[in-house]
Amino acid sequence: MVSLSCSRPAYCQQIFSDKTSSVSESRPDWDRLMEYLRPGDTVVVTELSRMTRSLTHLLTLIEEFKKRQINLVALREDIDTTSATGRAFIGMMGCHQPNGAGAQS
């Protein structure tokens, strides 16, 4: 189950939740979320594995979020791209991408 939620729902303006796996090609609420997002928004997920299929998929989403000025918070992994530490962690993950694409960023 893809779960896009917030540990403190009062801080979330909109909650999207799919009942399908992140590997599923059809994720209607994910598609609605991506259409809903605006620059400055923050996507809060319970854990990265509920949002992405692989490290490559995660890095692709992070790049898309960066271009669209969207932040990401992963509660279980304690990653917050609004902080320097969170951005550094994502950058380190990119360096470990097998094809080396992350190292060029």
End-to-end CA distance of the chain: 31
Total number of domains constituting the chain: 1
3-state SS class at 47? coil
User: Is the entire prediction scored with pTM above 0.75?
Assistant: no
- Bridge partners, 80 (sequence order): 73
Tokens 């400055």, located at residue:
40
3-state SS class at 72? strand
Domain that holds residue 19: 3-104
pLDDT at 102: 43
pLDDT at 38: 93
* Kind of pairing between the strands at 3-4 and 79-80: unpaired
If pLDDT is split at 50, 70 and 90, which confidence band does 89 have?
Answer: confident
CATH assignment at residue 43: 3.40.50.1390
